[in-house]
Amino acid sequence: MNWQATEMNPRARIIIALDFPTSEAALALVRRLSPHAGLFKIGLQLYTAAGREIVRAVRDLGGRIFLDLKLHDIPHTVGRAVESADSLGVEMLTIHLSGGRAMIEAAVRAANPEMLLLGVTVLTSIDPATLRETGVDAPMEEHVLRLARLGAESGIGGVVASPHEVAPLRRAYGSKIKIVTPGIRPRGAAADDQRRAMTPADALTAGADFLVIGRPITAAQNPRAALDQIVVDAV
């Protein structure tokens, strides 16, 4: 798989978040948007509701899969989970970098080189006060860069980070890692539960490789038109 984002058109760099409670709702959207989006993100809600079959069903409709399970467990368990995800043919998979070096390295060893293994830094719903609640006193940017460094040293292919940390990550790592950015909201859209959001154009300018977008598209009256408008606004 060619993950050189600079060679992709903006549409191919958009990942649609299928945050739905049922496979029926998710597949209805995939039918409307495939192949007009880059990838479809299947996260915990949908995967818990529909299991491995939803991955196969989206692929059968021509969708490419970003499996966003944010794996975080002992190294052996995470390694086996990565192997299971790879057997489904997913193209992107997330683990939590806070699981530590041994866990990350186990995931890297288990991953197919064709699959982009992504390390989650800090969730976009978390702010500095939440970090302090969990015992992290470092500033947000410093903590994100520390986790990214651990991931890069352990062989991770990319990171997931809020758009506000994209520029410092790009300065630190250049093109060595891919940066996938949630917390994307078109200008004028509601922030919902995103604490550290940015517009698609600003995130791409900062250096993001891929943008994860959910409700601004999935909750729109016309999802295809919403996607098309985001693509226009991003260039």
- Give the residue numbers marked as catalytic: 70
Query: If you compute the radius of gyration of the chain from its CA atoms, what whole number of angstroms results?
Result: 17
- Distance CA(153)–CA(199), nearest Å, equals 30
- Distance CA(37)–CA(227), nearest Å, equals 8
Q: Is 86 exposed, middle or buried (0-12, 13-18, 19+ CB in 10 A)?
A: middle
Closest of 139, 91, 144 to residue 116, by C-alpha: 91
Alpha helices in the chain (DSSP H): 23-33, 44-50, 52-60, 75-87, 101-110, 128-133, 140-153, 166-173, 200-206, 215-218, 223-234
- Distance CA(98)–CA(151), nearest Å, equals 9
3-state secondary structure of 68: strand
Peptide bond into 35 cis (omega under 30): yes
Cα–Cα distance list, 137 to 143, 162, 214 (Å): 9, 19, 31
- Distance CA(199)–CA(215), nearest Å, equals 14
